[in-house]
Chains A and B, each alone.
Chain A
């Protein structure tokens, strides 16, 4: 498992290559890359940049726990979580999660699980800049809670 919380960007191709490098047990790698959109909040207005704040220490601890949970549920050869913080522009990468396994089903499911749990359990907060120069804290979405909870009954 690899977990990184960083300000700088990452190279998706290089990260995915590294995930399976030297391990010929890996039959499939799935990944999710989250990007900054330029649609803000419920008003659907065009927005600008956003700033991601997190809780250093607890963030890494929660990501390790989420990763360990994925490892216990699926036979993974490797897993990866990279999450950025700081100020990001529309189109910038925010997060990359990836799972490598012998077969695709485990890799697909684990990847979805990682991002679903991360969204509701890792202490990150988004501050969105709006077109009128204001900034609003993004509110948590019920749909994200439901996405995370569906893994409880499947567990």
Chain B
């Protein structure tokens, strides 16, 4: 799956985009976030508070329960501030 990070999530994690192969236990956004947090202190810190960021799966808004098959584009970002 392809994972994108925007705004302060990108800055804190230090990468804007990465392609990963998640382990079998990753079946939804919640388990993906839990797995990502174990990848290092930058991930742990950036993804610590699930209230602080939003998620999109294949460019549609999702939530912690959105199911993942493994070939999605998943994006993590703060609440939007355009306009």
Q: Which A residues have a C-beta under 8 Å from some C-beta of B?
A: 34, 52-55, 57-58, 61, 83, 94-95, 115, 118-127, 137-140, 144
Q: Are A140 and B81 in contact (CB under 8 A)?
A: yes
Q: Are A139 and B56 in contact (CB under 8 A)?
A: no
Contacts of A121 in B (CB 8 A): 80
Partner of B83, one of A34, A57, A137: A34
Q: How far is the CA of A137 from the CA of B81 in the complex (A)?
A: 9
A-B contact pairs, 24 of them (CB 8 A): A34-B83, A52-B82, A53-B6, A55-B4, A55-B56, A57-B59, A58-B56, A83-B82, A94-B82, A95-B83, A120-B79, A121-B80, A122-B83, A123-B6, A123-B77, A125-B77, A125-B80, A125-B82, A137-B7, A137-B8, A137-B81, A139-B81, A140-B80, A140-B81
Q: Does B29 contact A (CB under 8 A)?
A: no
